[in-house]
């Protein structure tokens, strides 16, 4: 029995597990998950999967929002182009019960054993852009994405977003590796 428990703990560590959520200071009022429904384009990132050049035009689509008591979930589809072909990664996001800006992603299909935690750390009041951080897993480092409702952001809007993120000391280290 002890060996089984130890194996489960090791497996959870390898595959990713829930982290302790931090309420981002740039989101003092929390977050209504409905505000992020729809399709977003990654306009800047530190994530190697997007910066290595093999996968292009990444998008996140959050859909099918559903509430079950205190639990809020929605479908998460990551779209991108690889070798000229459209591809997707599908999962389900669950909003944290007490920190509304924190979500846990769980893959679908053969990715069902993988989880990742992410947070909405900033959201433009006009809803044009948002900033997300994500925790490290065995396969990915921790990082930051700036996402927008359009495939690009004009320079002024992008610079305003970065300036806003720089006010949070926890986000500054991510900004030095940000690729637009």
Q: What is the pLDDT of residues 132-142, one digit of tens each?
A: 999 998 888 99
Q: What is the mean pLDDT of the chain?
A: 88
pLDDT over 90, % of the chain:
78
* H-assigned helices in 16-90: 48-51
Confidence class of residue 4 from pLDDT cuts 50, 70 and 90? very low
Burial of 109 (0-12, 13-18, 19+ CB in 10 A): exposed
Confidence class of residue 123 from pLDDT cuts 50, 70 and 90? very high
Query: Rounded to whole angstroms, how far apart are CA atoms 149 and 10?
Result: 39
According to the model, what pLDDT value does residue 19 have? 53
This prediction's pTM: 0.87
The yes-or-no verdict on residue 10 having pLDDT over 80 is no
According to the model, what pLDDT value does residue 24 have? 80
More reliable by pLDDT, 20 or 127:
127
User: Apex CA 14: angle with CA 11 and CA 18, to 5°?
Assistant: 90
pLDDT over 70, % of the chain:
89
More reliable by pLDDT, 17 or 91:
91
The yes-or-no verdict on residue 1 having pLDDT over 70 is no
Q: Residue 125 has which token pair?
A: 């009041």
Nearest by Cα to 41 from 150, 179, 133: 150
According to the model, what pLDDT value does residue 158 have? 98
The arithmetic mean of pLDDT across residues 138-148, rounded, is 93
């Amino acid at each position: 029995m002890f060996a089984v428990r130890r194996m489960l703990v090791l497996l959870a560590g390898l595959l990713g597990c829930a982290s302790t959520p931090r309420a981002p200071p740039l989101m003092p009022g929390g977050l209504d998950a409905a505000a992020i429904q729809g399709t977003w384009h990654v306009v800047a990132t530190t994530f190697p999967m997007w910066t290595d050049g093999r996968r292009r035009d990444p998008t996140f689509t959050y859909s099918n929002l559903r509430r079950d008591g205190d639990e809020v979930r929605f479908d998460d589809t990551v779209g991108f182009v690889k070798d000229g072909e459209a591809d997707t990664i599908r999962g389900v996001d669950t909003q944290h019960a007490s920190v509304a800006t924190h979500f846990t992603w769980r893959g679908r299909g053969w990715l069902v054993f993988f989880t990742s935690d992410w947070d909405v750390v900033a959201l433009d009041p006009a809803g044009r852009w948002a900033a997300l951080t994500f925790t490290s897993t065995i396969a990915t480092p921790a990082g930051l994405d700036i996402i927008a409702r359009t495939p690009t952001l004009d320079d002024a809007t992008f610079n305003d977003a970065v300036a806003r993120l720089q006010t949070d000391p926890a986000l500054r280290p991510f900004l030095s590796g940000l690729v637009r």
